[in-house]
Structure 1
Amino acid sequence: MLTQQVIIRRSLLIFPRYCSTSTSHNTCNRTTKAELDSIIRVDHAGEFGADRIYAGQMAVLGSTSKGPLIKHMWDQEIKHREKFEELIRKHRVRPTAMIPIWNVMGFALGAGSALLGDKAAMACTVAVETVIVDHYNDQLRKLMGDPEVNKELLETITKFRDEEQEHHDTGMDHGAEQAPFYKAFSEAIKFGCKTAIAISKVV
């Protein structure tokens, strides 16, 4: 009995090691259609939401000194959204059913944060982008299991991750941490973003 337990334990240790050292097309590493659909669906939803957040900020701060800065970041988010719309069509992925809700909530978050002042708007940007960068990094680790098959998605997400990191850094450079109740405000937004991500993966 003891010998059998030892053999089972050793096999559990060897199996993941075998998967990690095998070719990229090994079934241990291969990304399934369902997983790819979930990645594209949630990323499309996220970029759509980011588009609406910046639209809300522009509606309030567009004519201020922060207008050009917000417009630059918004333009990048529009390109992100358009790319994932292309991938939605290409891979025949069902978009999340939550799009109408994210449309309203995204704009409300952007406009609401901007109404609290430009520093609160930057704090909103930092909070959102923190979650998105972490989210993209998690996806990249998953997709690297099959880099040849996932080449386009890897390149797309890597590029967008880097631009989201730039948005985060821009927000920090423009006074995000000086916003009133910064930590509580930031944590509330992060929680909302993580919840939206979890819902959009499946709904």
Structure 2
Amino acid sequence: MSEGGGPEGVGVLVGEDGLARCPWAAEPGEMRDYHDTEWGVPVVGESALFERLTLEAFQSGLSWATILRKRPAFREVFDGFDVDRIASYDGAKRDALLADARIVRNRAKVDATITNARATVALRGAGPEGSLESLIRASAPVPGPAPVTTTDLVPSSPESLALSKLLKKRGFSFVGPTTLYALWEALGLVDTHLAGCHRRGIAALTAGTDT
């Protein structure tokens, strides 16, 4: 998700609990909970990574808070983001997804999810990448300095542009450079917790954790 946003030049904010956080997570609620427990924490496994890629694509043009509220329904209707099951969806299943008001009923994004599942299956063992998971991890940029304020945040990078082009060649869709950069942030492959945030560096502490 493109969490970093809001007014430029804003640094960490200290909450009523005394903890410093990125400004988008300053207030109690779902967004703070996500910031404090999930954002920037590595995940292990194809389904977990595919879920995050899919939700980042669905978030495009919407708020992440909307996606978080709908996430339980997304997990249900997309069969726990089991890639093989999604890859086998037929027209009837696609129509059912588009009729389900509990999720984002965007035809292009639903179609992209099915397309991307099939591309993920095809990617297994094909070429040096071997899997979607290894490709996404190997393509992440070298860590840079910690952003101090929201002005220091960027929506994409040359590396995310290169990965976008590679994935599109492999048959993926809705994988633009901004979506992929946000995915790296969510996975802790790019740490954009602001300097001073109590979650800064959490990816290194939780590397290898199966979440």
For Structure 1 versus Structure 2, the TM-score category normalised by the shorter chain is under 0.3
Query: Which has the larger share of helix?
Result: 1
Higher relative contact order (CA 8 A, sep 6+): 2
Q: TM-score, normalised by structure 1?
A: 0.26
TM-score computed with the length of structure 2 as normaliser: 0.26
